[in-house]
């Protein structure tokens, strides 16, 4: 394992990025498939159709809240462990893992209780009252999804921790197992047993339980750190540092929830004023369609996040080892790759295949308005996807470097200020089209700010090289008490 860790400071950056990023990308893609697979099978079930599709869109942000808490703990632990190992402090790394396990279990159980207690007002806030059928299906799907929240959070939080331990393939396998079960069980429960939204949710939860159990099995078998009972005792400094390193991941996800809530409510409000979608028969279509576009975007952004998150152990180790030259090289490589992914998505997903992608989500069972609005939504909502990809990579890389303030600021501006702001401001002027315009406008303005921060970061590295100071940008870990040695 020592040889594997030292490779982070010596091996070619492109090779390292591939080794860590590919399993991470696959893990995130498979994770994204949970909700997407549900929506595909729901949309193609004639007795659910666009009503079930809209219900899935309503519940999706609520699962993101659980994910936000899980990735705050998991990504923060991943970054802390990588930095600690780079500085040779295995004790701190082990304590961070133990604390992360405890925090994930407690927060998962608490969120489950809150969801069960306040399901009706929560669903209402996220636009579930677009019509009676959508509301009923949302309630059914949400109840069973909520029962799996603790397992979902545990698997998602442990995934980056397992990657930081040097086992990205195992992390990928744990996620693959859960997704495979979901894919197999979804058609069985929906089409054979006719369990409807309950069937889709139960299939998802079974997959999440499998991933959580496999992650739990790995814990006592960590490679770089042998966990002991004292690793599960609370050290406020390490707990605080772990959460602070993951706060950007949390804010990125939770602000996305705020943005989706604004979008869903604007769709409900201004869809009712539309001459076509104001009719009861078609009222659920805009909600269902925007959900489809967001799920396809989630596939693209999973690749983007996977590439950036796969760099976290490499960045953290080299920051801890005081090698900002390698950090800069990796950042340049990552930005180039992310821009290429965005360009490919723009050409293929946005321009070439929107009609075919809509067909996968049951357009054959819907009116012509369903497909027409979907094609328009793809081409407007995602027209600045290149900027979206580069922005997301910048957020995560800055976080991995320990620049939590800059990373958090960018994420908050993108989702809270721009994402929520333009989703609320544009529809009164442009109707439903205003909801679609909010995404590209937000991405353009965020890219301008990101460019300034990227330029400042490169100038800082140049100044360090000129001064011969390779330690000035290394983030500090909490000091350890000498008696703990």
- pLDDT above 70 (res 485): no
Mean pLDDT of 325-350: 91
Name every residue whose Cβ is closer than 8 Å to that of residue 179 and which is 6 or more positions away in sequence: 30, 31, 33, 34, 37, 207
Domain boundaries, the chain: 21-474
Name every residue whose Cβ is closer than 8 Å to that of residue 406 and which is 6 or more positions away in sequence: 398, 453
Mean pLDDT of 146-159: 95
**Both structure tokens of 484:** 């703990």
Give the Cα separation of 360 and 38 in Å (integer): 12
- pLDDT above 80 (res 30): no
477 pLDDT band, cuts 50/70/90, is very low
The secondary structure of residue 418, as a DSSP letter, is I
CA angle at residue 475 from 474 to 477, to 5 degrees?
Answer: 125
Quick: pLDDT tens for 183-216. 999 999 999 999 999 999 999 999 999 999 999 9
Q: Please tell me the total number of residues recorded for the chain in this structure.
A: 485
- pLDDT above 70 (res 401): yes
Report the candidate in 35, 102, 31, 107 with the shortest Cα–Cα distance to residue 70: 107
Give the Cα separation of 373 and 270 in Å (integer): 14
Give the Cα separation of 319 and 304 in Å (integer): 22
Give the Cα separation of 8 and 438 in Å (integer): 40
6 pLDDT band, cuts 50/70/90, is low
Four-residue CA torsion sign, 139, 152, 231, 79: negative
Mean pLDDT of 284-294: 91
Placement of tokens 């996220």 in the chain: 126
Lowest pLDDT segment from 27-31, 199-203, 226-230, 453-457:
27-31
H-state helical runs in 44-89:
49-86
CA angle at residue 161 from 100 to 200, to 5 degrees?
Answer: 90
Contact indicator for 470, 325 with CB cutoff of 8 Å: yes
pTM: 0.77
DSSP states along 174-232: HHHHHHHHHHHHHHIIIIIS--HHHHHHHHHHHHHHHHHHHHHHHGGG-SS----GGGG
Mean pLDDT of 62-77: 91
3-class SS of residue 295:
helix
pLDDT value of position 1: 47
**Helix orientation angle between 285-310 and 432-467, rounded to the nearest 10 degrees:** 10
- Specify the higher pLDDT residue, 12 or 342: 342
Contact indicator for 290, 267 with CB cutoff of 8 Å: yes
Contact indicator for 270, 426 with CB cutoff of 8 Å: no
CB atoms under 10 Å from CB of 425, counted, come to 15
Q: Classify residue 47 by burial, with Cβ atoms within 10 Å: 0-12, 13-18, 19+.
A: exposed
pLDDT value of position 317: 78
- How distant, in Å, are the alpha carbons of 188, 329, 391 from that of 386? 38, 21, 9
């Amino acid at each position: 394992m020592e040889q594997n860790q030292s490779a982070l400071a010596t091996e070619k950056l492109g090779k390292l990025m591939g080794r860590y990023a590919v399993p991470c990308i696959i893990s995130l893609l498979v994770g994204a498939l949970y909700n997407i697979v549900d929506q595909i099978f729901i949309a193609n079930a004639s007795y659910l159709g666009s009503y079930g599709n809209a219900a899935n869109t309503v519940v999706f942000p609520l699962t993101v809240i659980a994910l936000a808490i899980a990735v705050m703990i998991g990504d923060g632990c991943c970054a802390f462990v990588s930095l600690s190992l780079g500085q040779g402090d295995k004790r701190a790394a082990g304590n961070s893992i133990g604390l992360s396990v405890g925090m994930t279990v407690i927060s998962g159980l608490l969120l489950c209780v809150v969801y069960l207690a306040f399901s009706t007002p929560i669903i209402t806030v996220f636009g579930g009252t677009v019509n009676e059928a959508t509301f009923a299906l949302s309630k059914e799907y949400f109840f069973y999804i909520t029962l799996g929240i603790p397992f979902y959070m545990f698997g998602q939080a442990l995934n980056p921790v397992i990657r930081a331990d040097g086992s990205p393939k195992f992390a990928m396998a744990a996620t693959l197992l859960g997704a495979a079960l979901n894919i197999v069980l979804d058609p069985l429960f929906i089409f054979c047993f006719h369990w409807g939204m309950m069937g889709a949710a139960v299939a998802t939860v079974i997959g999440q339980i499998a991933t959580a159990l496999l992650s739990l099995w790995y814990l006592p078998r960590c490679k770089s750190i042998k966990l002991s009972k004292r690793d599960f005792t609370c050290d406020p400094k390490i707990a605080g540092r772990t959460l602070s390193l993951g706060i950007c991941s949390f804010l990125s996800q939770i602000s996305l929830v705020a943005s989706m809530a604004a979008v869903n409510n604007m769709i409900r409000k201004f869809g009712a004023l539309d001459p076509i979608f104001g009719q009861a028969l078609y009222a659920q279509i805009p909600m269902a369609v925007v959900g489809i576009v967001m799920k396809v975007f989630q596939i693209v952004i999973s690749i983007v996040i996977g590439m950036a998150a796969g760099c976290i152990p490499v960045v953290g180790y080299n920051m801890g080892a005081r090698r900002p030259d390698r950090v800069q090289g990796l950042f340049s490589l990552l930005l180039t790759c992310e821009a290429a992914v965005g360009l490919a998505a723009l050409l293929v997903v946005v321009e070439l295949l929107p009609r075919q992608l809509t067909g996968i989500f049951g357009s054959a069972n819907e009116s012509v308005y369903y497909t027409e609005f979907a094609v328009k939504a793809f081409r407007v909502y995602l027209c600045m996807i290149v900027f979206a990809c580069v922005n997301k990579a910048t957020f995560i890389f800055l976080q991995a470097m320990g620049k939590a303030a800059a990373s958090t600021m960018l994420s908050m501006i993108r989702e809270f200020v721009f994402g929520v702001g333009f989703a609320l401001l544009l529809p009164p002027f442009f109707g439903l089209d205003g909801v679609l315009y909010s995404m590209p406008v937000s991405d353009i303005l965020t890219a301008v700010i990101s460019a300034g921060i990227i330029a400042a970061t490169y100038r800082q590295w140049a100044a360090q090289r000129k001064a011969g100071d390779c330690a000035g940008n290394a983030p500090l870990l909490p000091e350890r008490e000498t008696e703990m040695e």
